[in-house]
Amino acid sequence: MAEVRPDEVSAILRKQLAGFEKETDVYDVGTVLQVGDGVARVYGLTKALMSELVEFPHGVFGMVLNLEEDNVGCILFGESSKIKEGDTVKRTGRVASMPVGENMLGRVINPLGQPLDGRGPIQTDKFLPIERKALGVIERQPVKEPLQTGIKAIDGMIPIGRGQRELIIGDRQTGKTAVALDAIINQKFTHTEQSKKIGIKPVYCIYVAIGQKSSTVAQVVDKLQLEGAMEYTTVIAATASDPAPMQFIAPYSGATLGEFFRDSGRHALVVYDDLSKQAQSYRQVSLLLRRPPGREAYPGDVFYLHSRLLERASKLSEALGGGSLTALPVIETQAGDVSAYIPTNVISITDGQIYLEPGLFNSGVRPAINVGISVSRVGGNAQIKAMKKVAGRLRLELAQYRELEAFARFGSDLDKATLQQLRRGSRLVELLKQGQYQPMTVEKQVVSLFAGTNGYFDEIPIEHVQRYEREMLEMLELKHPTLLVSIAEKKELTEDILTKLNGVLKEFTNVFKVSVKA
Amino acid sequence: MKNTRVARRYAMALMTAAREQNNIEGTAKDMEFVGKTLDESREFRLLVASPVVSSPRKREVFKEVFGPRVGRETMTFINLLTSKSREAILHDVAQQFKELHDEKLGIVNVEVRTTVEFNEAQEKELRTQLERMEGKKVRFQFVIDKTIKGGIVIRIGDTVYDGSVSRQLERMRERFIAGRAA
């Protein structure tokens, strides 16, 4: 660094002072009546607006959440221990907002947009309010492009479209976060030149961690970095040690950042992990503000809390640039109880759910998706034709398999057709197993599922199914790369591709059978 | 402060009663005296607020302290408060009554913070300026505050007009920091 001479410094200071005018500041103030547990009651501030940002001493900011006859209820975004009774509170005149911009990508921030990763300030030139009204009917269009998660079971049977809201629900330790992370990691391919060529637009990701352990968040960030996914991802963290108000606004910040990408004609994916914790922190804040408790002590507007958040996910009309914001909310259930208050609320708000079961997880089916009760209400329109063709039969065959599975337990003699169905089903279940952080491109998924539903696996012993799949895909990549590319480009299974595929698979199966016997 | 809502109700009732009796000015004077008495004596405040002292005893004390100096209606009002076990809010009621009265007369209370005392000419100048600005009569409360370092801070209700030197310095500091970041 060059040496700085004192006279230079004073010259700079003088220049800055030159434009300084003596001005009288006008602001509105109030007095803290009561403070504690992240909320404060303020006397005065009679002109304060709902959800306006207010400034407490020591640089602590708060947000107005309750307007009452003679006082104002605020939530604090900083340490409430620094504030004491009688402190002066100033209005700022703006609603709670956060900075947004491309520079947020690759960073870890708190819900107010301040960096947490120790990599210095983030240069942005735009501020957007944290609470924004969702778009109306005119601004939207139906979901039509796929959002590939790279997980066979999801992309095949529970497809997610860009602009959809798909709930990931399940008990603790069933792999909810893993599914969400896989979806983020798989967006890497949308940022490649190859995707650009076949018309797949890049998806920017936002991972909102609410009430999680800081160590877990650090692990997630580490993993995303390792997989090269941080380049197009922002992590918004409100950890368990952050005040409840922070955890409560975190998902709204995530939606705001996502909307920035959406409104500029791009595509964004935001994961809220998880909303049950957010509901709990909202319950805490509400009870402290003396709002009346309802079912499970949640306040009456806890449904609106989630519906207004998830309603912000949308697919914009072409006139507005055609951008999209996809939401993947996560809900943790207690002992599989999906009929608890918050889970039923969020199930009814979203366009479908992915249900993860501990039973399946423990029996080695991972991802532990219960295909029977997982649905996607709009994603079907977004599936590519090739996938629709192979996956339609997959769902049906798995349903039949589950029905027959109970009988098979008795081991009594079954007719040939039933045995065949059982054999097919068990192999499909095996085929749908997939390792974590191993997303698969859509063309490979199509080939795998095609082989499964067309019986190429039927003769293969169950323990060899995964090896068959792996080697088959390797073989295709090495010997017939054009086949995979043509599926990806045409997005459907033409007669030409079908004949070629059948031929290749037949040949490979024969070779593989020999290796099994050996 | 948490009793303001109750106090306001009682103050409004008292105001209505005083209007019916055509004795607003007298009641206002009485309540001001009550407020001042409570302000001046800590022991008296503690006695009034104490739940240990029984209501009849308090009533006697009130009679002795206020009886000879306030009107009959005001005394009745104090007795009413006592019988409702609300004597602890007496101070708040006095304050609220004063606010109601000021509102009625179109007077605003203005707190003026300076480092040095105002002389009469300055006060008059400020009064005409503020009265023109607010469209109401102004009642000053002057406070000498060395921490503002100079200039003047005027507070009308919730709004603060801050022309103090300390605020200017603060703004200058913010400007230097912002200048460095840019």
> pLDDT by residue (tens digit) across A330-382?
999 999 999 999 999 999 999 999 999 999 999 999 999 999 899 999 988 88
**Spatial CA neighbour of A240 closest among A268, A209, A267:** A209
B159 contacts A121? CB cut-off 8 A: no
**Spatial CA neighbour of B89 closest among B36, B33, B10, B18:** B10
Helix (H) or strand (E) holding A282: helix A275-288
State how far the alpha carbon of B26 is from the alpha carbons of A203, B59, B81, in Å: 75, 22, 19
Cα distance between residue B51 and residue A434, in whole Å: 72
Listed by number, the residues of chain A in 53-82 with a beta carbon closer than 8 Å to a beta carbon of chain B are 69-70
The pLDDT of residue A456 is 92
Beta bridge partners of A127: A99
Counting Cα atoms < 13 Å in the Cβ hemisphere of A66 gives 22
B159 contacts A26? CB cut-off 8 A: yes
Cα distance between residue A353 and residue A269, in whole Å: 16
pTM (2 d.p.):
0.88
Label residue B92 exposed, middle or buried (CB < 10 Å: 0-12, 13-18, 19+). Answer: buried
Statement: residue A276 has pLDDT above 60? yes
A70 contacts B4? CB cut-off 8 A: yes
Q: Which residues of A touch B168 (CB under 8 A)?
A: 22-23
Chain B residues whose C-beta is within 8 A of a chain A C-beta are 1-2, 4-5, 155, 157-163, 167-168, 171-172, 175-176, 179, 181
Cα distance between residue B14 and residue B31, in whole Å: 10
Cα distance between residue A512 and residue A461, in whole Å: 11
Of B5, B161, B175, which is closest to A26 when you measure between CB atoms?
B161
What are the tens digits of pLDDT across the range A456-469?
A: 989 899 999 999 99
What are the tens digits of pLDDT across the range B121-137?
A: 988 998 998 888 888 88
DSSP for B46-106, written as a single string: HHHH-SSS-HHHHHHHHHHHHTTTS-HHHHHHHHHHHHTT-GGGHHHHHHHHHHHHHHHHT
A516 shares contact with chain B (CB less than 8 Å): no
Judge whether A229 and A206 are in contact, CB under 8 Å: no
B2 contacts A46? CB cut-off 8 A: no
Q: Which residues of A touch B171 (CB under 8 A)?
A: 23, 25
Cα distance between residue A311 and residue B2, in whole Å: 39
Statement: residue A411 has pLDDT above 70? no
Of B1, B5, B158, which is closest to A28 when you measure between CB atoms?
B158
Judge whether A148 and A442 are in contact, CB under 8 Å: yes
Angle, vertex CA A375, rays to CA A372 and CA A380, nearest 5: 125
What are the tens digits of pLDDT across the range B156-180?
A: 888 999 988 988 888 888 877 766 5
Beta strands of A166-277 (E only): which ranges? 167-170, 203-210, 233-238, 267-273
A173 shares contact with chain B (CB less than 8 Å): no
**Spatial CA neighbour of A369 closest among A88, A118, A168:** A168
Of A26, A44, A70, which is closest to B5 when you measure between CB atoms?
A70
- In terms of DSSP bridges, do strands A71-76 and A61-67 run parallel, antiparallel, or are they unpaired? antiparallel
A125 shares contact with chain B (CB less than 8 Å): no
Statement: residue A2 has pLDDT above 90? no
Cα distance between residue A159 and residue A147, in whole Å: 8
What are the tens digits of pLDDT across the range B57-114?
A: 888 899 888 888 888 888 899 899 988 888 888 988 998 899 899 888 888 889 999 9
A45 contacts B5? CB cut-off 8 A: no
Q: Which residues of B touch A33 (CB under 8 A)?
A: 1-2
Instruction: Give Cα B140 to chain centroid, integer Å.
Output: 12
Q: Which residues of B touch A29 (CB under 8 A)?
A: 155, 158-160
Statement: residue A124 has pLDDT above 70? yes
Statement: residue B182 has pLDDT above 50? no
Q: Which residues of A are catalytic?
A: 377
At A454, which amino acid appears?
N
A28 contacts B160? CB cut-off 8 A: yes
Q: Which residues of B touch A43 (CB under 8 A)?
A: 1
Beta strands of A239-389 (E only): which ranges? 267-273, 314-315, 324-332, 352-356, 375-376
What are the tens digits of pLDDT across the range A375-403?
A: 999 988 889 999 999 998 898 899 899 88
Q: What is the CA radius of gyration of chain B?
A: 21
**Tokens 């054999």 label which residue?**
A423
Q: Which residues of A touch B181 (CB under 8 A)?
A: 121
| CA-based nearest distance A361→chain B, Å | 51
Q: Is the C-alpha dihedral spanning A485, A491, A493, A494 positive or negative? A: negative
Residue A76: phi, psi to the nearest 5? Answer: -105, 135
Of B171, B176, B181, which is closest to A16 when you measure between CB atoms?
B176
